[in-house]
């Protein structure tokens, strides 16, 4: 289907009419719709894996671990808690409101939502967000990435198979189609992608005062710090795994690693060993190693590697025909160099040396830049690690681990500043896609004239005294 301004407008209006029927307010309906999505993940598992392989060169295991399986896990968590989450909260109104003592907070859906998803984890970052929108009782228009064409086609097939168009619709096409969607009045927008496009989404949404959630990669990328007391082999193993995953095309991936000079030599040797052990000596020929999404992404990666060619100590080769580029370690890199001042989104890993006793200076440098979506620390000093994690500004992170903060049930996934706003996963996704509406239930009996004029005169002096007593 060729999407136009008219067809997109018609779709939004049809979804608005369906929403106003009140059908999505029923928790039983939401549960039924979530179960359909969960079932589709099993029915279409092979087609999804094939599409991810075609788009990104992902192996079957990585496709399930990072996309399909995480969606199933997310839906299961929502199904387990939705009835409780959606239940109105009962509050005591307080003496100030006497005799109207009962207040309820309803968790109301926004209405028609727009979900704009990226290419790097097309299944997870489309259907994972859709699950949260459905849980909140909304309808959804999905604008999927034009870069991951095979995945978008499979998702469109799934959506058409399990949902009516006036409930969930998936729109394909490029940036022009995305802008046509953004011109419509939605009740909530959720965008995952780059900070630059995030600004554009906010500007478009502001025309209708539409609330927006953003999940962004961060303007200057995510830092990983390896201190001199770290378990070097363990840190190298985990960092290597993470940089290989999806060929570095992950918004929470390590953009640059800062390594204490005291252990840098040993760490770099262990890092090389870890890469070889996990992907072999010829990663470009390894069937399990993913590729970059397109020629522009490949060329950008290759061009930046060439700029630091004299400092590449591992990797540094690519294949323009397969769009694969080796995991590439660049050493040493100063913290002020261009390569560590923007998000890379590829398998390049600049390594920044620092003196361990000058760690506070490094933390100040990180704090002075735009907030990352993630922060990773490797150290045995838990007191220091907890202090850093409780004082720096970032989306989320790990101590002596990578990426798994994304997998924790009941915990929010979010960014701050240039790495985003809002949060989702589990109950946090339900909250992101609902508005808490406070309703006080009044009484027509025993009403005191406390709030009513007149306030002056001896006869009415008791009113202010009562207010001061109640408003404490």
Q: Which residues are catalytic?
A: 215, 251
Calculated CA dihedral for residues 149, 152, 153, 156, nearest 10 degrees: -160
CA distance 170 to 152: 8
Give CA separation, 357 vs 34, 54, 228, 333, 352, in Å. 52, 47, 10, 19, 15
Q: Which tokens in the block code for residue 169?
A: 């619709």
| Ramachandran category for residue 253: left, alpha or beta (phi over 0 → left; psi -120 to 50 → alpha) | beta
Residue 444 · residue 450 · CB < 8 Å: no
C-alpha 210/C-alpha 193 separation (Å) is 18
Contact of 240 with 232, CB cutoff 8 Å: no
Q: Give Cα 309 distance to the centre of its chain.
A: 33
Residue 188, phi then psi, degrees to nearest 5: -160, 140
d(CA 198, CA 373): 14
User: In angstroms, rounded to a whole number, what is the distance separating the alpha carbons of residues 381 and 400?
Assistant: 11
CA distance 406 to 246: 15
d(CA 109, CA 24): 8
CA separation, residue 22 to residues 107, 113, 119 (Å):
14, 15, 33
Beta bridge pairs of residue 114:
141, 189
């Amino acid at each position: 289907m060729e999407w136009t301004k008219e067809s997109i407008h018609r779709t939004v209006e049809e979804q608005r009419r369906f929403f106003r029927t009140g059908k999505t307010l029923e928790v039983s309906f939401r549960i039924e719709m979530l179960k359909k999505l969960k079932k589709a993940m099993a029915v279409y598992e092979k087609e999804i894996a094939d599409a991810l392989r075609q788009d990104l060169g992902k192996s079957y295991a990585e496709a399930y671990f990072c996309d399909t399986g995480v969606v199933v896990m997310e839906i299961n968590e929502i199904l387990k808690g939705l009835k409780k989450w959606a239940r109105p909260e009962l509050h005591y109104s307080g003496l100030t409101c006497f005799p109207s003592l009962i207040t309820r907070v309803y968790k109301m859906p926004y209405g028609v939502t727009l979900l704009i998803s990226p290419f790097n984890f097309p299944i997870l970052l489309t259907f994972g967000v859709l699950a949260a929108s459905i849980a909140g009782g909304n309808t959804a228009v999905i604008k999927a990435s034009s870069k991951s064409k095979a995945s978008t086609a499979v998702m469109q097939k799934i959506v058409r198979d399990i949902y009516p168009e006036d409930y969930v619709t998936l729109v394909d096409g490029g940036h022009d189609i995305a802008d046509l969607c953004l011109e419509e009045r939605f009740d909530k927008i959720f965008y995952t992608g780059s900070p630059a496009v995030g600004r554009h989404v906010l500007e478009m949404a502001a025309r209708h005062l539409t609330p927006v959630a953003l999940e962004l990669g961060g303007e200057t990328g995510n830092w990983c710090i390896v201190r001199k007391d770290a378990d070097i082999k363990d840190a190298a193993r985990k960092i290597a795994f993470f940089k290989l995953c999806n060929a570095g095309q992950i918004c929470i991936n390590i953009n640059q690693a800062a390594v204490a000079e005291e252990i840098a030599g040993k760490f770099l040797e262990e890092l090389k060993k870890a890469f070889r052990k996990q992907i072999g000596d010829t990663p470009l020929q390894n069937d399990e190693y993913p590729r970059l999404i397109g020629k522009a992404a490949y060329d950008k990666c290759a061009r930046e590697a060439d700029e630091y060619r004299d400092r590449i100590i591992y990797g540094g080769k690519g294949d323009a025909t397969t769009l694969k580029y080796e995991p590439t370690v660049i050493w040493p890199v100063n913290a002020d160099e261009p390569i560590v001042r923007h998000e890379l989104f590829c398998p390049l890993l600049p390594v920044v040396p620092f003196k361990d006793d000058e760690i506070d200076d490094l933390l100040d440098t990180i704090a002075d830049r735009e907030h990352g979506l993630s922060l990773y620390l490797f150290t045995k000093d838990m007191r220091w690690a907890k202090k850093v994690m409780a004082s720096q500004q970032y989306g989320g992170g790990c101590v002596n681990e990578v990426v798994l903060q994304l997998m924790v049930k009941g915990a929010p996934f979010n960014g701050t500043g240039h790495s985003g706003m809002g949060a989702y996963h589990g109950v946090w996704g339900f909250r992101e896609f609902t508005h808490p509406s406070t309703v006080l239930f009044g009484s027509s009996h025993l009403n005191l004239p406390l709030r009513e004029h007149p306030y002056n005169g001896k006869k009415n002096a008791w009113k202010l005294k009562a207010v001061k007593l109640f408003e404490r």
